[in-house]
Amino acid sequence: MKRHRCPERYAEHVEHPRYGKAPHVTGVDPNPDDPAVHLHWNTRYLTEAQLRRIERTTGWHPVFPNDGTRMVPGTAVAADVSRQTPATVAITHYYDIDKVCRDCRRRFIFFAQEQKHWYEDLGFPLEADAVRCPPCRKRMQDIGRARKRYEQLSHVASRSFEETLEMAGSCLMLIEAAVFHQRQTEHVRTLLKRVPEEAKGDRRVAEITARLMTVEAEARKRGPK
């Protein structure tokens, strides 16, 4: 793998923990007009014949909004078609795709190697697309986990200190992520009050209290709702 010719162009891109920021140059560029070549529609480099083939097999006619997505030439990686989840048109090559994150609006690369991993190792359908950058994706997963954990803990009749703390932390995170309403801060306070006296000095209690105060201060700044 060669380094990209001008990695500085990607200096502001969001970093992927495994693949980095800049595209991975392979020097491979299959001819998209070759009938044996089928690129993923995320390259947006489709011939009329390929568009028709997608429409015929999936009933979907791709229309791409101008959202800043572009493929990076010279970054193709050959696919192992036999490992892809069938039922769609097989993809013969993946490309590094330069995209804008739906949440934070920063640019990131959806790497060809990452697509290979998604579609061949993890068994994701080819329709699965990365719409968020890695940290925003992680954040979505954390929110999902916090929701689930909060829900589980709310059914526990007598919670241990650890569980109470975890529930308060989950609730607070969901308020910070605007999943829960601001009013739920009172619930976090109630949970913290249930922390036994000898545990009040716990570092995590102090951390949650500090975050809670920040959230409440921001709410006061915004005024009553």
- The residues that touch Zn ion, with contacts defined as CB under 5 A, are 101, 103-104, 133, 136
Residue 62 or residue 144: which is nearer to Zn ion going by CB? 144
The closest of 104, 89, 105, 103 to 42, measured between CA atoms, is 89
Q: How far is the CB of 106 from Zn ion (least distance, A)?
A: 5
Q: How far is the CB of 17 from Zn ion (least distance, A)?
A: 14
Residue 34 or residue 103: which is nearer to Zn ion going by CB? 103
Compute the C-alpha angle 136/43/119, nearest 5°: 65
The H or E element containing residue 110 is: strand 107-110
Residue 89 or residue 104: which is nearer to Zn ion going by CB? 104
Residue 100 or residue 215: which is nearer to Zn ion going by CB? 100
Q: How far is the CB of 43 from Zn ion (least distance, A)?
A: 21
CA distance 118 to 45: 21
Angle between helices 185-193 and 161-176 (to 10 degrees): 160
Residue 138 or residue 148: which is nearer to Zn ion going by CB? 138
CA distance 205 to 194: 11
Q: Residue 172 carries which DSSP code?
A: H
Q: How far is the CB of 99 from Zn ion (least distance, A)?
A: 10
Asked if residues 52 and 80 have their Cβ atoms less than 8 Å apart, the reply is no
Q: How far is the CB of 215 from Zn ion (least distance, A)?
A: 22
Alpha helices by DSSP H, the chain: 48-58, 112-116, 134-154, 161-176, 185-193, 203-222
